[in-house]
Amino acid sequence: MKVSVYRKEHFNAAHRLYNPEWSDEKNQSVFGKCNNPSFHGHNYELVVKLVGEIDPETGYVYDMKVLSDLIKERVLKKFDHKNLNLDTDEFKKLNPTAENIAVVIWNILRKEIEEKYDLTVRLYETERNYVEYDGD
């Protein structure tokens, strides 16, 4: 019997969507106000979903305190209150779109969470806009 468990976290970060291979005009046309050279920020909501079997000894699919600590240590410390373009290695050469941020977070967590768990990262950039990545 597989059960899904979820941990929700929050972080704030600034970014600029920009492709250095394009002209300023094309960047502005594609990314609009998200291309602001002075950057802009979001209050991101991160939801991490794990799917697995219930451990008969603990009754847990996954210890949520362990998951919370893992997210805080590996993701929030790295991205919270940062300029993603300037302050993080992950986005020095990767456009920090919500899609790319979700994939980066998934890759960070996948290294730390056993493969027996299905992992999905859902990232809300705004209340109405979110992306989801499950490794496929």
Which residues are catalytically annotated? 34, 81, 125
Helix, strand and coil percent figures for the chain, each rounded to 5: 35, 30, 35
Backbone angles phi, psi at 94, to 5 degrees: -120, 125
* DSSP-based three-state secondary structure for 25: helix
Residues 135 and 47: their CA atoms lie apart, in Å, by 15
* 21: number of Cβ within 10 Å: 7
Q: Nearest 5 degrees, angle CA 48-CA 8-CA 56?
A: 65
Cα–Cα distance between 18 and 22 in angstroms, integer? 8
